């Protein structure tokens, strides 16, 4: 049995529990929690995905995250993913969510933000390289072809301000 997620509707209401791979294959909506990390100087953490991962190998991203588990809130998922991927124990702040059409399949993307004052220890299976960049530098990287497409959409929405 694969990773179980809640299938949701266009209003982010739960319809049932399904296998995530099946949800992706069938284009069923599910939930993903993402985290944007900033340092105490306001810079953004950017990372490159490992070459061996199945989705967007070698691509740049400004978000960390993953699927929201069954009966888990976006906020709890964001905190769990932050601990798993960067070994940072913190409670990211929910910023907004939107229905992301997705490069692979559609899903609800919950974006969170956290200020990280401690050194990060990235999981090499998730992060091949990382660095801190200004918002201007990030805006340049977002235009790069090897930037995760869904992360590009989230960045533009983030810059536009709160959307609910």
CA distances 11 to 61, 79, 107, Å, are 27, 23, 11
Please state, in angstroms and rounded to a whole number, the distance separating the CA atoms of residues 70 and 34. 16
Residue whose entry in the numeric block shows the structure tokens 């740049």: 60
Nearest to 3 by CA among 104, 72, 53: 72
Eight-state DSSP code of residue 58: T
What residues form DSSP beta bridges with 31?
108
Confidence at residue 1, expressed as pLDDT on a 0 to 100 scale: 75
Each residue's pLDDT expressed in tens, for the chain with a length of 164 residues:
789 999 999 999 999 999 999 999 999 999 999 999 999 999 999 999 999 998 899 999 999 999 999 999 999 999 999 999 999 999 999 999 999 999 999 999 999 999 999 999 999 999 999 999 999 999 999 998 899 999 999 999 999 875 44
pTM (2 decimals)? 0.94
């Amino acid at each position: 049995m694969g990773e179980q997620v809640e299938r949701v509707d266009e209003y982010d209401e739960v319809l049932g529990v399904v296998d995530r791979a099946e949800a992706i294959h069938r284009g069923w909506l599910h939930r993903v929690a993402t985290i944007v990390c900033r340092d105490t100087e306001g810079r953004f953490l950017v990372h490159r995905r490992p070459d061996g991962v199945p989705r967007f190998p070698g691509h740049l991203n400004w978000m960390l995250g993953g699927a929201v588990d069954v009966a888990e809130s976006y906020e709890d998922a964001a905190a769990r993913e932050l601990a798993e991927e960067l070994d940072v124990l913190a409670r990211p702040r929910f910023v907004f969510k939107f229905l992301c059409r997705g490069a692979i399949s559609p899903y609800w993307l919950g974006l969170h933000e956290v200020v990280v004052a401690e050194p990060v220890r990235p999981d090499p299976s998730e992060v091949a390289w990382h660095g801190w960049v200004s918002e201007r530098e990030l805006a340049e990287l977002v235009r790069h072809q090897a930037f995760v497409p869904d992360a590009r959409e989230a960045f533009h929405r983030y810059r536009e301000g709160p959307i609910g």
